A and B are shown apart, each in its own frame.
Chain A
């Protein structure tokens, strides 16, 4: 290493022990041995730097099955090794899951998106995690090594906490792509335009009847207004069976604002967050109406 070691400042990353498993079983052995699963590393390496933990990392880049990214019958499978950049740059995925792409494009910067993974965003289980509400409206299910698949809604438990058992690992997430007459969208409020976290966010998926205006089905999810991203079922149901009108949208927005469960912190008060939800629901539905007009 020559003179380099002495010039490294103490704020830098401590030396880490790195493993390169090529199979899931091998990876799990490393996890049992105290290693953490390393995918994109944008969160994990910061933890290692700021908290001195973890010290051992098992990188999944050499495990082929972790790089699954494919569609079958409108179900998309996204492996743990897939970066947000890969999702965004895939034209078919952009058509199949607009809300998720909206959200992914708001995470970090180009550089970060090329490194950070979708499954990393899920594992972090931040209440403000951008992709989570979007994944919820696309009926995401996660697959872990030990359990069968689990609804994302059940997987997210509390801030930073998931249903992942110790020693288990997340393999992939599957989500339902849009069908004919469907559109989804995600939008958030932030204080700054980039590199910021959502103060409140909304994802909506609407299915229209063949008449092109009556709502056949709806899914609405809210972010940063509860311990986890959450589905707003009553708000979604209120839209079904009627066309979108000023009144029906306002009613839906009111319900969403009522059932969310925000806290006050240094970024916004609970009341302000509720108000934001009300506004964002309207904004997202407007955006969906614009997108519907662009449909072929």
Chain B
């Protein structure tokens, strides 16, 4: 069986070791590649802390196996442009869009997707699109302002 799998992560090619074929993308990114922006909140697809972009679309890395991602492009916060990260950070500071910061990576990824014109139907509201990102500190109103300013 052809098991040499190449993943494109933040613009770099990675040959996925066999041992990681049947394990979560989340663990590979975090534990093997030390991409610490990728957080595990629930591990069940509910909280969005583990959000990464796969071929430009947001997905939960806690519900993806490494072995199903051959030739796909994966982007984490580390792979976003400095420009976007700085603007997002600045706006978070301005609006108080960050408390403990655990949800921040997920929201940063969603903000990058939205800034690139991300949408499901071309007309849904960003509120609805952010429903999969939970903030246990409850800074939703502040994050709403951050996202509104960003777009």
A residues near B (Cβ < 8 Å) are 1-4, 7-8, 11-13, 15-20, 38, 41-42, 45-46, 49, 57, 59, 61, 85, 88-89, 94, 105, 108-115, 193-195
Contacts and interface: CB of A to CB of B under 8 A. Distances in A.
Given A11-B43, A94-B121, A115 B23 contact: no
A147 B121 CA distance: 35
A18 B43 CA distance: 20
Question: Which of under 10, 10 to 19, 20 to 34, or 35 or more describes the interface residues of B?
Answer: 35 or more
A15 to B, nearest CB: 5
Interface string B38-64: 000001111010010010011110011
A115 B63 contact: yes
13 contacts: A3-B31, A4-B31, A16-B22, A17-B22, A19-B1, A20-B1, A20-B2, A45-B24, A46-B63, A57-B65, A88-B120, A115-B59, A194-B131
Contacts of B48: 109, 111
B57 A114 contact: yes
Contacts of A16: 22-23, 65
Nearest to A193: B131
B67 A59 contact: yes
A59 B68 contact: yes
B120 A105 contact: yes
Given A17-B22, A89-B120, A111-B58, 17 more contacts: A4-B32, A16-B22, A19-B1, A42-B45, A45-B24, A45-B63, A46-B63, A49-B43, A59-B65, A105-B120, A109-B133, A110-B110, A110-B132, A114-B54, A115-B60, A194-B128, A195-B132
A111 B60 contact: yes
Contacts of B3: 20
Contacts of B63: 41-42, 45-46, 112, 115
Contacts of A115: 45, 59-60, 63-64
A12 B64 CA distance: 13
B27 A12 contact: yes
The 4 residue pairs across chains A and B that have the minimum distance between CB atoms: A109-B132, A194-B131, A16-B22, A4-B31
Given A18-B21, A61-B68, A111 B45 contact: yes
B101 interface: no
A88 B133 CA distance: 20
Contacts of B2: 20
A15 B24 CA distance: 9
Nearest to A83: B57
A85 B124 CA distance: 13
A18 B44 contact: no
Nearest to B114: A110
A194 B121 CA distance: 17
A102 to B, nearest CB: 11
B68 A38 contact: yes
Contacts of B67: 18, 20, 59
A89 B121 contact: yes
Nearest to B27: A8
Interface string B114-133: 00000011001000110111
Given A12-B24, A195-B46, A18 B65 contact: yes
Contact of A13 (B19, B23, B58, B68): B23
